[in-house]
Each structure stands twice: as structure tokens, then as C-alpha cells.
Structure 1
């Protein structure tokens, strides 16, 4: 049996309602690890209280974290849109994936976008340009869950 590991990386999101929703979504979809990176926004850490099903880690040294994860063969996937981005349902998630989600309004920080191996997006119809971060996490987690036949 092939082991699949998906972890979530949250870049500078600050809204406590989003944090709580992300926590619940990750637990519901079997995600075991969330990384919180805050270089410019403050957030309420107590929203991520200890949970036996989920490990939440603050990232203070981005370079060290990145190097450690790359040595463990993780691929970084930006949840963002650009000309080369693939649609969520056309992308096959690697066995070891860290999916990166950006802050409310500003999205993923440039220094983190530059570290990502892939960029994927949720196709949308209409005037809305993007979903709320917690909604995006839910859609991505469901796609990963579906691909892995869980």
C-alpha cells in the first residue's frame, strides 16, 4: 500500500473564523498536520488548541522548514492562479504534498510562491475572483480525499 501524506500550510491568514473552519475541515478529511506562517499578520493561536487528531506547528524559519520538507521528498503546491496553473481536478497530488493557502485578500506571499513546485486553482464561473480560504481548503481537501479513494 502506498502511503499518502498531505499537509496544509497557511500563509498569514488572520481571521479566527477561518482558522476554526480550517481546523475542522482538516480533521474531517484526515489531514494530520497544519503549518502556520505569519510574517506580517497576527492571528489568534488559541484557535488551534491541542487536538489529538491534528498537529499544528508555527513556522518561524521558512528556509529551514522548506529545506527539511524537501529532504523528506515533499512537493509544495500553491493554491493560486497564474497562466501555468492547473485545475484542481486535472492535477494528480503527489504522495507527499504540502498545499499552501494564502492570506485573506492578499493571497500567498511572493517568497512562498517562489518555493512552490506546482500551482493549481479552483475553476470558477461568474464575477467572483476567489473563494474564502476556508472554502478553498475544503474544496482542495475533498479533491485529495477523492483522488486517494478514502
Structure 2
């Protein structure tokens, strides 16, 4: 894997990167294993196969780590072996795949729908103090980027 910095096109991301915490990893398998254990996550992986479940059959109200493979090769075998669930987005006609961003959007919308149906967004999951700390970090990051641009 390349060890270059993450390049984010703000015109494409609509600056969403300002509201996310991004952590770069070089050993995907190790990172997924650690997250799965530490956060008690189900690992759900997209995979075009007869044994894969319809993506709508998964319970996304559980803590979930979603891995979406690219259109050509899918996910690597080491990641596939870590999957608790393999999913597919059913397609009609001759097309069997979607690009990563479209597939991810469809799956995340289903996760949102399930979570809304269960009322999971009715109460904040963070305390007021945690929210304030996150906002302070975001503001500090924005100020640092603006200072960097002026140089």
C-alpha cells in the first residue's frame, strides 16, 4: 500500500473531511481485527457470490464495520476472511456491479433507514462535553489549515 498522505478533493467531498476523523492504516487486516474486537463490531463485506446475502437482510442497528470492494476486484481474500457477513446489492439485467461510491451510498442509506426506524437518532450519543471537545478540535483544524494556506 502506498504510504503517501491522504489527498482529499474538497470540491468533491464538499469539505466533509472537516467533520470526520481520518486515521491512516497500513495493515488493513490488523486494523479491522483490532476494531472488531475493541468495538465489538460486525464486519460486513460486499462480495458478488451465490452465498452472499441481500444487503437489506443485515441488521445495521448493530455496531458495523462496512468494507466495500472496488468494482473490478472486490475486496482482498484476507479481508473477506474477516467478514461476519458477505452482502450483495441485487441487480437487474446484465449489470452485476456498481461503482464504490454508489454501492456505499445505497448500503449506508439502508443502515440509516433501519436506525431511524428503531429511533436510534432521537437522543444524542455524545455528552455536551464531548460535543464541545469535538467542535473545538474541528475549529482548531480549520484555523490551522487557513494559516497553512496563507504561507
For Structure 1 versus Structure 2, the TM-score category normalised by the shorter chain is: 0.5 to 0.7
Work out which of the residue numbers 7, 10, 28 in structure 2 matches 1:62: 28
Residue segments in structure 2 that go unaligned for 5+ positions in a row? 122-151
Computing the radius of gyration from Cα coordinates, the structure with the larger value is 2
Shift of 1:148: 0.4
The CA distance in 1 between the partners of 2:27 and 2:40, in whole Å, is 19
Deviation at 1:78, TM superposition (A): 0.4
The equivalent position to 1:74 in structure 2, one of 2, 19, 41, is: 41
- Relative to structure 1, the CA distance from residue 70 to residue 54 in structure 2 (aligned partners, 3 Å threshold; closer, same or farther) is same
Does 1 or 2 have the higher relative contact order (CA < 8 Å, sep 6+)? 1
Answer 1 or 2: which has greater strand percent: 1
* Structure with more helix by fraction: 2
User: Any runs of at least 4 consecutive aligned residues in structure 1 with deviations exceeding 4 A, and if so which?
Assistant: 41-44
Residues 76 and 116 of structure 1 are in contact (CA less than 8 Å); yes or no, is this contact kept in structure 2?
Answer: yes
TM-score, normalised via structure 1 length: 0.64
2-structure distance, mates of 1:128, 1:78: 20
The question of whether the paired residues in 2 share the 8 Å contact of 1:77 and 1:100 is answered with yes
- Alpha-carbon separation, structure 2, partners of 1:128 and 1:53: 35
Q: Which residue number in structure 2 is paired with residue 141 of structure 1?
A: 108
Q: Give the whole-Å Cα distance in 1 for the aligned partners of 2:95 and 2:5.
A: 28
* Alpha-carbon distance in 2 for matches of 1:48, 1:95: 31
Q: How far 1:44 sits from its partner (Å)?
A: 7.6
* TM-score, normalised relative to structure 2: 0.64
